Amino acid sequence: MEVISIIGSTFINLLTTDTLLFLILGVLVGTVIGILPALGTTAGMALLVPFVYGMEPYHALAMMTGLLAVVSTGDTVTSILMGIPGAASSQATIVDGFPMAKKGEAGRALSAAYFSSMIGGVFGAFILTAFLLVARPVVLAFGMGEQLMLALLGLSLVSILSGNSLLKGLIACGLGMTFGMVGSAPASGEFRMQFGGSTYLTDGLPLGVVALAIFAFPEIINLLRRGSSITEQPIVKGGWAQGVRDVMDNFWLTIRCSAIGCLIGALPIGGSGWLAYGHTVQSSKDKSQFGKGDVRGVIGPEAANNADTGGSLIPTLIFGIPGGGSAAIFLGGLLLIGFTPGPRMLAENLDVTYTIIWCVAIANIFGAGICFLLSGHIAKLTAIPFSYLAPFMLTIIMFGAYNSTRDWGDLIALFSLGVIAIYLKRFGYSRPAFLIGFVLQNVVESLLYRILQVYSLESFFSRPIIWVLIGIVVFSLVIGLRSKTKVETEGMAHEASATQIMPQVAFLALIMGFLVYSVVDVQNLVFLAKVLPIATSVMALTLCTLGMVILLRRNPQSAFFHDGELGWKESDEGYEASPFHYVWWMMGFLLATYLVGFLIAIALFYFAFMRIKAKAAWWSIALMAGCTLLVLSIISYVFLVDFPTGILQDFVWMPWPFGR
């Protein structure tokens, strides 16, 4: 009873004091940071810290919680409108969100996303309230083995995300896992696949860069080639009301995905958006529209990623141990303002804990409300002719990638993986499967290694939850394999795919070459550091060989044949340029950056591109380039981002922000 009175009194305190104003301030900052591409919770929290130290602790607490709770609401914007993942949490939203924007339904997608985010966030807060005092045994019940099974459940989603060819999905997943092994091995800290040894790769490829390269890069190239606006059809009016109705029609789906988000958020696994997406597809009767713009594909992941934030606070508040990256920053902030989250705070300062929870709930409502009001206007962006939008989008993905580790390596990795992604898309290798493999490789390998150190076979299989989860994984696989309609994310194959096979053979041979390299590279490492890379590569190589046999035997019935680029000139999508035309443009941009630095290269790119491709007036180009440079300079000043300088800056002194 005492607990209930604390829950009530903290709520009243929050609403009746000026703490609420600080909460709203946090929500505003969080929403703006969320909407701004390439900036997430980390950037927002880092921005607040200098102010919170020395502030009235409850004010600081409300402000930080407000920010934490809403960033994943705002970062949906670029995912849906442009196919650019705003943060790790909104990757799965792209699969259906971006096709909706292409169909002119951006408003509906955004409003469904915000409304389900709100429900997810509030649900997360509700779960926190209801179970906080009893959740301890639940978190402790999910040990290494149980976490491994959840990660495997994530991997099993490849079966539904492979499009027409499961074989290709598995190859893509294996390739993603192999890229995930770059960096130091969990078992020994030894470095793997350093491609000749650069410090950049010692920590592995950053997820942010990989997600941008895999999803955004090929889409931007294709949009450029089509030369129109993002929407292929007129913008649908009244979409926002439809979005709300969509969520209400799928209310239980929203709740189930929120629960998934909450559970995954509480465990150090990640990928809650993907698991929610998988559940959404598997539990839907009509699967035919997934990957082509089914609104349920937006609702599921968005509900999950806001509930994830609530879930990640469970271990933070109960054990004093953060459940993820953004919870870690939040925990640091709490320590700075003098709160000590953990069992003691839970026992002695329950009011602090419940203030945090209330803040999460209220912030989610405000955050979704603000985004909701903006969504109608933001959706109009999709109608802007693409040649005007393109330089801006290119700036976003370049900046977003560079912001990952602020190293030249980010840009090189973005470009190289981006080119690989173009071919993955062209030949129908599922890019979501690649990304899931990349994300979960590290989790699976670390957990396997730890389990080997800790468990015996007998003790491992004597844990009942493991058996339940094995059952769920098998169930998920069976549903995935038996379902006739698969989520197709890579577009249609050209009808000549089965006769003109050389490009497909060449690409598959390159994949095999890379896999062989990965096996050779790890030969001299400690056994535990090389066993999983070798196993993965050998399995992937076997699948590739199988694929190669199918290709060379030319059985035209096989779904393995897939080439979306044969005869692109007469393609339905109406491409105006060859696939590589715009890759050269991007190459040119990188070269310009190398010569004259990032900011000047951006200005040059605006002028060159908009003059040649859009035939825009000089003054309008100057205005757009000027605005972009101004925004980038402000970001550079506030968040301390130094843009890459070029050879020019080595010889000629230039004022900030062009030089250093």
CB 316 within 8 A of CB 341: yes
User: Of the two residues 507 and 639, which places its CB atom closer to another protein in the complex?
Assistant: 639
Q: Does 350 bind another protein (CB under 8 A)?
A: no
Give least dist CB 520 to another protein, A. Answer: 20
Coil, helix or strand for 428?
coil
Of 25-33, 289-297, 340-348, 541-549, the window that binds another protein (rule: CB under 8 A) is 340-348
Q: Does 320 bind another protein (CB under 8 A)?
A: yes
- The count of other CB atoms within 10 Å of the CB of residue 18 is 11
For the chain, the maximum distance between any two Cα atoms, rounded to a whole number of angstroms, is 75
Q: Does 640 bind another protein (CB under 8 A)?
A: yes
How many residues are listed for the chain in this entry?
660
> Helices in 251-341 by DSSP H: which ranges?
251-266, 272-282, 296-319, 325-336
What 8-state DSSP symbol labels residue 199?
G
Give least dist CB 658 to another protein, A. Answer: 16
Of the residues 321, 470, 539, 559, which one makes contact with another protein according to CB under 8 A = 321
Which residues, 508 to 547, sit near another protein by CB under 8 A? Answer: 526-527
Of 63-71, 341-349, 353-361, 413-421, the window that binds another protein (rule: CB under 8 A) is 341-349
Of the residues 84, 299, 331, 614, which one makes contact with another protein according to CB under 8 A = 331
Give least dist CB 139 to another protein, A. Answer: 7
Give least dist CB 640 to another protein, A. Answer: 5
Give least dist CB 543 to another protein, A. Answer: 29
Residue type, 192: R
Of the residues 99, 163, 315, 437, which one makes contact with another protein according to CB under 8 A = 315
CA angle, 253 then 484 then 539, to 5°:
100
Of the residues 17, 138, 344, 591, which one makes contact with another protein according to CB under 8 A = 344
Q: From CA 334, how far away is CA 466, in angstroms rounded? A: 35
Of the residues 6, 244, 328, 384, which one makes contact with another protein according to CB under 8 A = 328
User: Of the two residues 325 and 369, which places its CB atom closer to another protein in the complex?
Assistant: 325
Give least dist CB 335 to another protein, A. Answer: 4
Cα–chain-centroid distance for residue 255? 21
Q: From CA 347, how far away is CA 266, in angstroms rounded? A: 20
User: Of the two residues 356 and 541, which places its CB atom closer to another protein in the complex?
Assistant: 356
What would the two tokens of residue 277 be?
């997406």
Q: Does 591 bind another protein (CB under 8 A)?
A: no
Q: From CA 648, how far away is CA 653, in angstroms rounded? A: 9
Which residues, 100 to 159, sit near another protein by CB under 8 A? Answer: 139-140, 143-144
Q: From CA 653, how far away is CA 660, in angstroms rounded? A: 8
User: Of the two residues 186 and 297, which places its CB atom closer to another protein in the complex?
Assistant: 186
Place of tokens 């598959």: 508
Q: From CA 559, how far away is CA 556, in angstroms rounded? A: 8
User: Of the two residues 520 and 638, which places its CB atom closer to another protein in the complex?
Assistant: 638
Q: Does 272 bind another protein (CB under 8 A)?
A: no
Q: Does 322 bind another protein (CB under 8 A)?
A: yes
Of 47-55, 82-90, 126-134, 594-602, the window that binds another protein (rule: CB under 8 A) is 47-55
User: Of the two residues 478 and 638, which places its CB atom closer to another protein in the complex?
Assistant: 638
Q: In terms of C-beta distances under 8 Å and separation of at least 24 residues, what long-range contacts does 608-614 make, across chains too?
A: 609/387, 609/390, 609/391, 609/585, 610/387, 610/388, 610/391, 613/227, 613/387, 613/390, 614/385, 614/387, 614/388
Q: Does 649 bind another protein (CB under 8 A)?
A: no
Q: From CA 660, how far away is CA 645, in angstroms rounded? A: 8
Give least dist CB 316 to another protein, A. Answer: 9
Which residues, 183 to 202, sit near another protein by CB under 8 A? Answer: 184, 186-190, 199-200, 202
Q: From CA 558, how far away is CA 544, in angstroms rounded? A: 15
What 8-state DSSP symbol labels residue 215?
I
What string of H, E and C letters represents the secondary structure of 27-70?
HHHHHHHHHCCCCCHHHHHHHHHHHHCCCCHHHHHHHHHHHHHH
Compose the 396-435 pattern: x for residues touching another protein by CB under 8 A, - for all others.
Answer: ---------xxx----------------------------
Compose the 448-467 pattern: x for residues touching another protein by CB under 8 A, - for all others.
Answer: -xx--xxx------------
Q: Does 205 bind another protein (CB under 8 A)?
A: no
Listing DSSP states for 538-552 in one string gives HHHHHHHHHHHHHHH
What would the two tokens of residue 112 be?
């469904």
Q: In the complex, which residues of this chain contact another protein (CB under 8 A)? A: 42, 45-46, 49-50, 53-54, 139-140, 143-144, 184, 186-190, 199-200, 202-203, 268, 315, 319-322, 325-326, 328-332, 335-340, 342-344, 347, 405-407, 446, 449-450, 453-455, 526-527, 640, 660
